[in-house]
């Protein structure tokens, strides 16, 4: 169980981002083990405290998805790179310190974040590829489990949002590159079926072409490394 009696106690004691993350993971682990716990780190102000400790100056719990992750030039929601980088770094530290032990089909997957960590570098004995933008997109996708969609499970908490991302990446490290293509294809299909103005259809096709380009780059990279 967590070293602190409450999240507030941890904040008052001056706990840094790593220590607060340990509190969150310990609490979730205790819940998974069947113990009675209080998810006090999901309170609005607690999320704000976590954000500040992670040097994210905005309280994600007070913001909508579009405010946290503004649409890019193609209308795709993406978390700002600086914030995504801090969340990615925290998750990597949790894996490094074995607070998180991702698994792929039951086997350890300690390099699940390597595609996204900045290059040139290595992590867990393997090369990193630096696709931070894709991770920033992944975070925006999983914010759908937060306050905006009526099934609030995460309260837009940066760490919990990142944990959902890791869960999907253990299925396939190309999960979000493929998802971006799939969602863009759906937009093109819907606009064509509804006979929307050509300008909207053209923009959707450009969005799809960009998603395909990104995926092809990632696949080529994987094949070259095989």
Q: For position 104, what pLDDT does the model report? A: 87
Q: What is the pLDDT along the chain (226 residues), one digit of tens a residue?
A: 457 999 999 999 999 999 999 999 999 999 999 999 999 999 999 999 999 999 999 999 999 999 999 999 999 999 999 999 999 999 999 999 999 999 988 899 999 999 999 876 899 999 999 999 999 999 999 999 999 887 899 999 999 999 999 999 999 999 999 999 999 999 999 999 998 899 999 999 999 999 999 999 999 999 987 6
**Cα dist. 165→97, 120, 160 in Å?**
19, 23, 9
Rounded to an integer, what distance in angstroms lies between the CA atom of residue 67 and that of residue 61?
Answer: 11
Query: In the chain, count of helices (H) and strands (E)?
Result: 9, 4
Q: For position 106, what pLDDT does the model report? A: 87
Kindly list the domain boundaries of the chain, sorted by start residue: 7-169, 175-225
Helix, strand, or coil (residue 98): coil
H/E element, 222: helix 198-225
- Per the CB < 8 A criterion, the answer to whether 2 and 23 are in contact is yes
Rounded to an integer, what distance in angstroms lies between the CA atom of residue 66 and that of residue 41?
Answer: 23
- Per the CB < 8 A criterion, the answer to whether 44 and 61 are in contact is yes
Q: For position 198, what pLDDT does the model report? A: 92
Q: For position 87, what pLDDT does the model report? A: 98
Residue 146: strand pairing partners: none
Q: For position 105, what pLDDT does the model report? A: 84
């Amino acid at each position: 169980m967590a070293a602190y009696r409450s999240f507030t106690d941890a904040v008052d004691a001056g706990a840094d981002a790593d220590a607060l993350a340990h509190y969150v993971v310990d609490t979730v682990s205790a819940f998974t083990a069947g113990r009675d716990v209080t998810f006090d780190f999901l309170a609005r102000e607690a999320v704000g405290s976590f954000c500040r400790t992670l040097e994210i100056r905005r309280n994600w719990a007070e913001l909508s998805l579009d405010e946290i992750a503004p649409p890019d030039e193609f209308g795709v929601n993406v978390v700002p790179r600086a914030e995504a980088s801090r969340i990615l770094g925290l998750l990597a530290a949790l894996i490094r310190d074995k607070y998180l032990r991702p698994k792929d089909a039951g086997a350890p997957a300690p390099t699940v974040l390597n595609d996204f960590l900045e290059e040139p570098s290595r992590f867990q004995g393997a090369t990193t590829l630096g696709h931070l933008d894709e991770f920033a997109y992944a975070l925006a996708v999983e914010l759908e489990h937060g306050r905006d969609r009526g099934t609030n499970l995460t309260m837009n908490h940066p760490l919990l949002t990142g944990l959902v991302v890791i869960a999907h990446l253990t299925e396939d490290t190309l999960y979000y590159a493929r998802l971006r293509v799939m969602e863009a294809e759906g937009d093109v299909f819907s606009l064509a079926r509804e006979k929307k103005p050509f300008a909207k259809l053209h923009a959707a096709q450009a969005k799809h072409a960009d998603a395909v380009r990104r995926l092809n780059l990632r696949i080529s990279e994987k094949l070259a490394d095989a």
